[in-house]
Structure 1
């Protein structure tokens, strides 16, 4: 099904089902009871809804722009009944509260993009939009009021408010006196004092506090496994995204104030030095004014934008433009948007009311005609989150918008609605895109946008990547600079095994491998032995080009059945406590496990390999799961493991995915080859263990060949 068809919300849905999925508009203001419970009502295969009180009109589900994939949902394992008791709620002047059951030893995951922890049991999560989270509180660029548990179900609280989730640590009030007891020794450490009490877990609940609202819809997603629950949520969102092949290549963003000649010279150098690159990103300096934005080309830096884009395309590059949504008074789109914006400004610019479809159309139409029709292939949507907490640049929560949204609701939906305004322009032109964005939210799986951040701690980047798959999000742990050669290599190794592989050189004129020191880089003082570091980086970027076919297959599965292409080990092994708690390793697709190393950690690392037999991706060495593996701090390779039996295609390393030589595959067979490789029906690679022979089957216009088959391990 095409993206355009998926976004036709009313077509093919029965009237009652459509009402259940899409909402019915503003609710009555009639008096409501203080205590509420409501039965689960089926709204899609394996999905139920419970309505408590009178929900608000502006919510993620009611404002959804992509239809659920009902056929795919229907093909999943049938769920006869809801896997969770009916939620209980209450309404007061404060808002609405919801109470949901939680079993002993039931672990909780999710809540969107989280930088500080993976397992959320016993914590308080605030789904507040914040560009600069510095503590483990739940707020982030893309908080999502959705969680899944180790018991194999998911819960979505359908609100655009900054909801607070108390994940099992709030206990009931004692009601009876007890006889005096001798409590024994008093705890003398905070570890003892704050450790979980098993007696308390039997009465634990998930409590949800939704401020201002007088009701809320609660959605329940069946498993029976945690991975199946996430799949069901993603299909309810509209299914995952399958990016264009060029989007899965390598990206490089150039210095913000670079001219067209400087940018093209750097890209020609990449081609001459065989450094792969598919996407060229321009930062803020391409515009006449950037904070706020004009969306008009800077004529001194880019005197002939159309010619520049043509020259970039002649180098097989796809141009991606930085922007944010705040509209400068000198922008051509300012006048038509002035009455379609909020009552507060940001950086002297308008804040579009993206909840209003007309505002999205006016804003998007300008970008489509001025930029897409010139050949621009994507955008980097910056600062659409919120930074009132540390830097104070965004619009306040008390802002008012013509659609009726207030500032709090707008922050929660702004990133997704902004994405939609531009994605719609690509869909009108039937052009695929793959973009970057700094804020997202609930039901985001079908949007072709990858999250990024101004934060830069390597372990946090990895943890965000691990967490993103719980909530239908994609995350890019981009490389900007590094403290050492090792730090640059470790970061680059991580990013090539992520949803979007990118170096962001927005504040340096030369690639980081030429000079790590930012001041010296800007002064064009290059390191004496930079070519050796460049060679190592070229090799690592080449790994990305090799695994593009495998990534395409993983994303195709995401689009088809909702299985996250990048995900925490807890999604595949929730019943293995030592594996499920891992926050610094992740699965890529269904058979590749990545466990990065970090600069300065000379003793290497340990990894609890999941059950089963594995192979070292680089050497083919057999590894036995269910045990801890000690990994040496090698400078050469990132630790990657492949399930035994896997058939893995590796593409030829080319300067871009436009080179037809990339379709010449080297196929590696790990073990007996019992796990064939398949890419959405267009390519299948199988291994006959008895005959020691491989076979290739393909359909469609893409013509692959196999240069060689090799058995490893």
Structure 2
């Protein structure tokens, strides 16, 4: 329902206000409880723990003892649900309590419980005030000081620009079909983690509270506020000291993305809905006939019988197993949608299993909660209970037995068709013995469902990696699912908004995410779809999805001109798949994002602090989309160093803006000089068996002497055998001198049989043909090199040197002699 002017009536409830409240009061007593330091206040209490040398935890509590049990966001919890901690050091005077461990120090004022946090003498922030508001427990506000130069990042899936200073956001997972506008404070994901950048250094704060919370950076110029409405104020401070370390420290505790199957990195096609088997098969055949690469077709809710999960409509989709087998032969994976609502129907086995075994959410008095969603009246599994997650996981066998290896979880905020848009907050969740109301842990529902789905698929897939896509989540969601950013619109503004949204998701520990390419609702155009596809193929998750009754937006929907451009860019994603997959592996190891804001790599450059209409893939590919209609030029900022225009191979000086020409068939794309990018021959799907299975290391030379390298990762892209050592790391090392370039390639680790005969190196940036290439065999023509086992070729047209060598343990040690 749209708002009218009545929404701003001066007496309207819900207008933003700054609350006053009661402080902790004087710290009357200091006590050690295990590894924790307890500060007893006059009105409530404060407890402090050191998790490690860079991470400290503080918690507000009532009563005699704090509850240190964490939410499901945290990994490596002990049997009692708490995190292991270190023994703090502390000293007490009449006025202060000094707490230290490792690099961190807290200096606590005994008069009111406020404190400073320092790292090796560097002040991170001061807790200017800590207030309790309402009579009931859980309504707190912490006010943390903010310097004038501070820049704020993270907070997950939020609208607005990259830097969140001056914004206010509510953490409450919400089904938001419309509108997605900058003033929308809550969307489908709630990740209450924020990184603060100051003069190239950074720290992070994380509020582990899956109920309704608020991050307010708007009210004060010199402070931001963190508010809880229920549950605990359970805070973690990550000392950094830089943005990358903050992300690593945060994901050390909340987990990292498991390496996904390579097919899930391919292009996905979806619609609400592909209505029957014939439509799906025609779609699949069209992709193959038109030679537009695609790995995944999604099925929206119409594939089910009356929207009942774990069913296929027999009329629309007869013989689903046969359809899956036929699609598998064509190289396609099917990913069906699965919602949490289980239709209330005494003849429906899934519903009766839930009733018989007490799997569904209930009120405190035992009454079953029933909410209306697509199948009308429905019950909802209590995914906070391990036994319920196990049941839901077993139900995934319905899909895996048909040959399905990926599931799309939607409506899992949970979305309910009522005034509040979600489940009654008074519902009681079992939570494995630690009972909570829904209001206290609302934001966990989608993540717990994704966990049940992922773990169930993993058990059923006999060693293959599953793929799960989710709309809702909380901190830690990256352990179980990729994220798409919900029901966006086919607006140029929404294309633009997708960049900072996905960049901040990456800065919040969620590296595998992306928007619906082309926009979900409203009517796209050929130009918008093409520009969005150009951008979208460089996002970690690349899916075209559109709504019922909207114009079709498959890549061929607007004629040959736009189809050809989209084919080229989708194909580019597949040719660059080795590079993309390498950075997915990096994300799985470090937690760092695949798609990166420039500030992550250039944190001392003020031009990058709020730059969010261009981005990096990995650390060396710069993407600058066109996101306005009828536009052929745009300003592109090139950071320090040198950059190659990927289309012209012109080497450009960085540290400046350039004016880039970008007609409809071209999106500005640059590669950093002094980098190596891997690519391979084009496949129509990730696992397609092709004749040329070689990989090519594209070496982008600097304009001066120096050295650089890439340790490229590869494995089978499908199983968990890499955990047993079945993977390769191929090192490419480049040493540039005044008169020569030495290139060495070798296996640093070789545990996976790649089944290729050779590898190649393309050297980009030479001004003229080399005199010779020592150690690389003979100079040959391009045609002769294609037939030879090794050798080299100089392409005068694009000034590129191509070196070919056999795939062996020691691949290449070549010296390119320039003079």
Which bin holds the TM-score, normalised by the shorter protein? Answer: 0.7 to 0.9
Contact 1:604 1:630 in 2 (8 A): yes
Q: 1:573-592 to 2 correspondence within 5 Å?
A: 573-592=602-621
Contact 2:527 2:562 in 1 (8 A): no
Gaps of 5+ in 2: 1-33, 79-84, 87-100, 106-118, 362-368, 714-727, 767-819
- Which of 540, 564, 579 is equivalent to 1:499? 540
* Correspondence for 2:457: 426
Aligned-pair CA distance for 1:505 = 5.1
In 2, Cα distance between equivalents of 1:44 and 1:239: 18
Q: Do structure 1's residue 158 and structure 2's residue 245 form an aligned pair? A: no
* Correspondence for 2:754: 702
* Correspondence for 1:209: 227
**1:58–1:275 Cα change, 3 Å:** farther
- Which of 152, 166, 174 is equivalent to 1:108? 152
Aligned-pair CA distance for 1:32 = 7.2
In 2, Cα distance between equivalents of 1:491 and 1:57: 50
**1:483–1:365 Cα change, 3 Å:** closer
Aligned-pair CA distance for 1:496 = 0.3
Q: 1:517-666 to 2 correspondence within 5 Å?
A: 530-602=559-631, 604-661=633-690, 663-666=693-696
Contact 1:111 1:138 in 2 (8 A): no
- Which of 478, 483, 486 is equivalent to 1:445? 478
* Correspondence for 1:49: 57
Deviates further, 227-236 or 696-705: 696-705
Task: Look up the SS of the partner of 2:228 in the other structure.
Answer: strand
Q: Do structure 1's residue 470 and structure 2's residue 520 form an aligned pair? A: no
* Correspondence for 1:184: none
- Which of 238, 247, 256 is equivalent to 1:221? 238
**1:99–1:154 Cα change, 3 Å:** same
**1:389–1:211 Cα change, 3 Å:** farther
Q: 1:195-274 to 2 correspondence within 5 Å?
A: 201=221, 204-213=222-231, 215-253=232-270, 256-274=273-291
Task: Look up the SS of the partner of 1:298 in the other structure.
Answer: coil
**1:691–1:107 Cα change, 3 Å:** closer
Contact 1:450 1:499 in 2 (8 A): no
In 2, Cα distance between equivalents of 1:327 and 1:269: 35
In 2, Cα distance between equivalents of 1:58 and 1:659: 53
In 2, Cα distance between equivalents of 1:58 and 1:305: 49
Aligned-pair CA distance for 1:169 = 3.3
Task: Look up the SS of the partner of 2:349 in the other structure.
Answer: coil
**1:464–1:682 Cα change, 3 Å:** same
In 1, Cα distance between equivalents of 2:735 and 2:605: 32
Contact 2:269 2:294 in 1 (8 A): yes
Q: 1:403-418 to 2 correspondence within 5 Å?
A: 403=431, 404-418=435-449
Aligned-pair CA distance for 1:512 = 3.0
Task: Look up the SS of the partner of 2:352 in the other structure.
Answer: helix
Deviates further, 484-493 or 395-404: 395-404
Q: 1:652-691 to 2 correspondence within 5 Å?
A: 652-661=681-690, 663-672=693-702, 674-680=707-713, 681-689=728-736, 690-691=740-741
Aligned-pair CA distance for 1:33 = 4.0
* Correspondence for 2:172: 128
* Correspondence for 2:812: none
**1:603–1:256 Cα change, 3 Å:** closer
**1:427–1:155 Cα change, 3 Å:** same
**1:594–1:239 Cα change, 3 Å:** same
- The CA deviation string for residues 400-449 of structure 1, in whole angstroms up to 9 with x for no partner, is 44443333334311111111011111232432122321111112332232
Task: Look up the SS of the partner of 2:763 in the other structure.
Answer: strand
**1:667–1:63 Cα change, 3 Å:** closer
In 2, Cα distance between equivalents of 1:600 and 1:282: 31
**Which is higher, the Rg of structure 1 or of structure 2?**
2
Q: 1:358-373 to 2 correspondence within 5 Å?
A: 358-367=387-396, 369-373=397-401
Aligned-pair CA distance for 1:85 = 5.5
- Which of 335, 341, 345 is equivalent to 2:371? 345
Greater fraction of residues in strand? 2
In 1, Cα distance between equivalents of 2:444 and 2:495: 28
Greater fraction of residues in helix? 1
Contact 2:157 2:485 in 1 (8 A): no
* Correspondence for 1:484: 525
**1:242–1:232 Cα change, 3 Å:** same
Gaps of 5+ in 1: 1-18, 22-27, 171-200, 517-529
**1:101–1:619 Cα change, 3 Å:** same
**1:256–1:483 Cα change, 3 Å:** closer
In 2, Cα distance between equivalents of 1:409 and 1:100: 24
**1:604–1:466 Cα change, 3 Å:** farther
In 2, Cα distance between equivalents of 1:415 and 1:710: 47
**1:79–1:537 Cα change, 3 Å:** farther
**1:554–1:57 Cα change, 3 Å:** farther
Aligned-pair CA distance for 1:543 = 0.8
- The CA deviation string for residues 260-287 of structure 1, in whole angstroms up to 9 with x for no partner, is 2331232123222211111121221211
In 1, Cα distance between equivalents of 2:379 and 2:534: 40
Contact 1:234 1:240 in 2 (8 A): no
Contact 1:608 1:627 in 2 (8 A): yes
Query: How many residue pairs end up in the alignment?
Result: 631
Contact 1:252 1:505 in 2 (8 A): no
Larger relative contact order (Cα-Cα within 8 Å, sequence gap ≥ 6): 1
Contact 2:166 2:218 in 1 (8 A): yes
* Correspondence for 2:496: 459
**1:467–1:275 Cα change, 3 Å:** same
- The CA deviation string for residues 364-406 of structure 1, in whole angstroms up to 9 with x for no partner, is 2112x21123321111111213667997653243444444333
Contact 1:112 1:470 in 2 (8 A): yes
Deviates further, 565-574 or 386-395: 386-395
- The CA deviation string for residues 524-579 of structure 1, in whole angstroms up to 9 with x for no partner, is xxxxxx23432222111101101211111111111112221112222222322221
In 1, Cα distance between equivalents of 2:518 and 2:236: 39
Deviates further, 217-226 or 618-627: 618-627
Contact 2:647 2:669 in 1 (8 A): yes
**1:50–1:568 Cα change, 3 Å:** same
* Correspondence for 2:76: 67
In 2, Cα distance between equivalents of 1:659 and 1:538: 17
TM normalised by structure 2 equals: 0.71
Q: Do structure 1's residue 169 and structure 2's residue 195 form an aligned pair? A: no
Task: Look up the SS of the partner of 1:374 in the other structure.
Answer: coil
Task: Look up the SS of the partner of 1:50 in the other structure.
Answer: strand
In 2, Cα distance between equivalents of 1:666 and 1:51: 52
TM normalised by structure 1 equals: 0.81
Aligned-pair CA distance for 1:455 = 1.2
- The CA deviation string for residues 153-210 of structure 1, in whole angstroms up to 9 with x for no partner, is 110011012111222633xxxxxxxxxxxxxxxxxxxxxxxxxxxxxx5xx2332221
Contact 1:395 1:407 in 2 (8 A): yes
Q: CA RMSD in A?
A: 3.2
